[in-house]
Chains A and B, each alone.
Chain A
């Protein structure tokens, strides 16, 4: 699992001001920095340290992740949807890379 692949689950439609549940999952090894390899050298830390969810450019949810969080972190949260738009999800890696994906939702 060299490259991290995000998965998100957002309803395609919602009614105005409905509170929806969003599920996200990303493949990532979340190497804690506490482990050692066979030769006793510390395996350098590499985790996803921040997750952000924006709706139409405005942050609706974000969190910092710490080394104790297990591989392939799964996050579930709720958001209120006032209008049609796009959720943008961003995961920030220790090595500076950014994984992101988008998901559209229509308010009926």
Chain B
């Protein structure tokens, strides 16, 4: 009997640990799509702000996960297929398509999404996938730039992103002046905005795994974007998600493609290093 209080304490501590790590199911079997394993949890390196890096996948219901794990039921593939068509369609004054320079996307685009945003020396700033695609369009193809949230852009980022599915996110923050963008993104992440006076970190670092009304907070990782979101009933970009968060905290959102959002994307990519690219992921 004397031992009992000790057992109780140990039990309570174990429960507390389970509660903070949340939802997280058995990881002995990694989820996989057609044999490609998805690393939905990664060990956090030393000095990382999170104890463990967890993909948004883990915070969703089994039903939503099942949609993502079958390419047929994943509605994101409707846009991926249209991106695949656009890849080989010539456009613009140069009469070129993506394929004219890059050949088979399955080879040339492998790993591209995993390394985005990437430092662009000529532009002197980090390029997101959208920036890179539009530069190709205006500089190489002589075509008009796509709007950030257009179906054409989402289809192409999804199609290019898919070629990196299963590969670990790995951004080079040492290149060029990436560090200053990373710092700017980090400042953004911890700065409170809006009438509700919340920073990204208040929800996605301090409270992931907990419910916010009916929704379970994730770590806000970016590895699945562009993502098919059931609430949106369509695919959306990472910057759309940023804007949604800012609207929710009653802040005035920055524009898609703005320096603020690109900096945040840079910092977020670093926070999620090691997770598999899941593009096109399905979320609630």
Is B79 a contact partner of A25 (Cβ separation < 8 A)? no
Is A25 a contact partner of B234 (Cβ separation < 8 A)? no
Q: Is the C-beta of B230 less than 8 angstroms from some C-beta in chain A?
A: yes
Is B233 a contact partner of A25 (Cβ separation < 8 A)? no
Q: Is the C-beta of A16 less than 8 angstroms from some C-beta in chain B?
A: no
Q: Count A/B pairs, Cβ under 8 Å.
A: 33
A interface residue count range (under 10 / 10 to 19 / 20 to 34 / 35 or more): 10 to 19
Is A25 a contact partner of B230 (Cβ separation < 8 A)? no
Q: Could you tell me the distance between the alpha carbons of A7 and B80 in the complex, rounded to whole angstroms?
A: 13
Could you give, for residues 67-87 of chain B, a 1 whenever the CB lies within 8 Å of some chain A CB and a 0 otherwise? 000001101011101100000
Of B73, B151, B234, the residue contacting A74 (CB under 8 A) is: B73
Is A25 a contact partner of B73 (Cβ separation < 8 A)? yes
Q: Is the C-beta of A100 less than 8 angstroms from some C-beta in chain B?
A: no
Q: Could you tell me the distance between the alpha carbons of A20 and B79 in the complex, rounded to whole angstroms?
A: 28
Q: Answer whether A72 and B75 are a contact pair too, CB < 8 Å, given A1-B151, A1-B234.
A: yes
Is A71 a contact partner of B233 (Cβ separation < 8 A)? yes
Q: Could you tell me the distance between the alpha carbons of A29 and B232 in the complex, rounded to whole angstroms?
A: 11
Among A56-98, those with CB < 8 Å from B are 70-72, 74
Is A71 a contact partner of B72 (Cβ separation < 8 A)? no
Is B234 a contact partner of A7 (Cβ separation < 8 A)? no
Question: Which residues of A have CB within 8 Å of B77?
Answer: 7
Q: Answer whether A7 and B78 are a contact pair too, CB < 8 Å, given A1-B151, A23-B73, A25-B73.
A: yes
Is A23 a contact partner of B72 (Cβ separation < 8 A)? yes
Is A72 a contact partner of B81 (Cβ separation < 8 A)? no
- Of all chain A residues, the one with the shortest Cβ separation from B231 is A70
Dominant secondary structure of chain A at its interface with chain B: loop
Could you give, for residues 25-50 of chain A, a 1 whenever the CB lies within 8 Å of some chain B CB and a 0 otherwise? 10101100000000000000000000
Q: Could you tell me the distance between the alpha carbons of A70 and B75 in the complex, rounded to whole angstroms?
A: 11
Q: Answer whether A25 and B81 are a contact pair too, CB < 8 Å, given A1-B234, A71-B234, A72-B233.
A: no
Q: Is the C-beta of A104 less than 8 angstroms from some C-beta in chain B?
A: no
Is A1 a contact partner of B233 (Cβ separation < 8 A)? no
Of B72, B78, B151, the residue contacting A72 (CB under 8 A) is: B78
Q: Answer whether A70 and B230 are a contact pair too, CB < 8 Å, given A1-B151, A25-B73.
A: yes
Question: Which residues of A have CB within 8 Å of B82?
Answer: 1, 5
Q: Could you tell me the distance between the alpha carbons of A69 and B73 in the complex, rounded to whole angstroms?
A: 16
Q: Could you tell me the distance between the alpha carbons of A5 and B75 in the complex, rounded to whole angstroms?
A: 12
Of A27, A30, A70, the residue contacting B78 (CB under 8 A) is: A27
Q: Could you tell me the distance between the alpha carbons of A71 and B215 in the complex, rounded to whole angstroms?
A: 21
Query: Which has the most chain B C-beta neighbours within 10 Å: A9, A23, A70, A72?
Result: A72
Q: Could you tell me the distance between the alpha carbons of A37 and B54 in the complex, rounded to whole angstroms?
A: 37
Is B73 a contact partner of A70 (Cβ separation < 8 A)? no
Question: Which residues of A have CB within 8 Å of B72?
Answer: 7, 9, 23, 25
Q: Could you tell me the distance between the alpha carbons of A30 and B72 in the complex, rounded to whole angstroms?
A: 19
Could you give, for residues 224-253 of chain B, a 1 whenever the CB lies within 8 Å of some chain A CB and a 0 otherwise? 000000100110000000000000000000
Q: Answer whether A25 and B75 are a contact pair too, CB < 8 Å, given A1-B234, A71-B233, A72-B233.
A: yes
Can you show 28 pairs from A to B with CB atoms below 8 A apart?
A: A1-B78, A1-B79, A1-B82, A1-B151, A1-B234, A5-B78, A5-B81, A5-B82, A7-B77, A7-B78, A9-B72, A23-B72, A23-B73, A25-B73, A25-B75, A29-B233, A30-B233, A70-B230, A70-B233, A71-B75, A71-B233, A71-B234, A72-B75, A72-B78, A72-B233, A72-B234, A74-B73, A74-B75
